[in-house]
Structure 1
Amino acid sequence: MDSEPKRWRLLADALYDIGTGLEVLSPLCPHFFLEMAGLGNFSKGMAVVVARATRLPIYSSFAKEGNFSDLFAKGEAFSTLFDVIGIGVGIQLASTICVSMQGEVKCFYLFVPGL
């Protein structure tokens, strides 16, 4: 992973998205709910492992004076900040725009790029 951290990081992001997609779609298939939700959770877990393994090579390319701990702290702070913001935006959308089928379709096309 040290030789090509960008490739592994992108793979981890794709794996996480696939896992999230499986979790979201699992209620639509009640007969395979447990399998889909479990596979989605497993996929997300593996993605987190791969993403964390690529942090050191990526952060070390940014560290000019060996200040790894500063970079790790700032990276974690930004990650937590945007996770909280994303949860807030999701709750707001779910309680206002996405209460109808038309709102859900609009949100889908808004957040799924390339459609």
Structure 2
Amino acid sequence: MEESWGEPTSLTVRCGFLAGAVMVTASGELDLDTVPELERRVAAALEAATACTSATVVVVDLTSVSYLDSSGLNMLVRCHELACRHHLALHVVASDRRVLRPIHATELQHVLLLYPTTAEALAPPTT
């Protein structure tokens, strides 16, 4: 008899262009099982932005993410570093405390460019 430890986690990822940025929108849970898919999609978005002369920002929208563990935090740091190597900005959109709490607990808010809304992440920088 097989024992089940619960339902498998799921993650949905959508990608596209919006307002001169490459958007990656995730919904579901970010954990060890689902992080590789999101990381692959963010890396592809960074490549697309590099190839597109008008896109200088990749926005990772986590507003519909309900869980973020340490593997998700590590993935965000790796994607931030990859964006820096491509001379791009990686904007992370998060407003749910279930996502913000681990980011703030690890002080990654000082590393990642965090925004509470997609509109703010897409807004041109103010000088």
TM-score by length of 1: 0.33
Q: Which structure would you say has the larger Rg?
A: 1
Q: Whose helix proportion is higher, 1 or 2?
A: 1
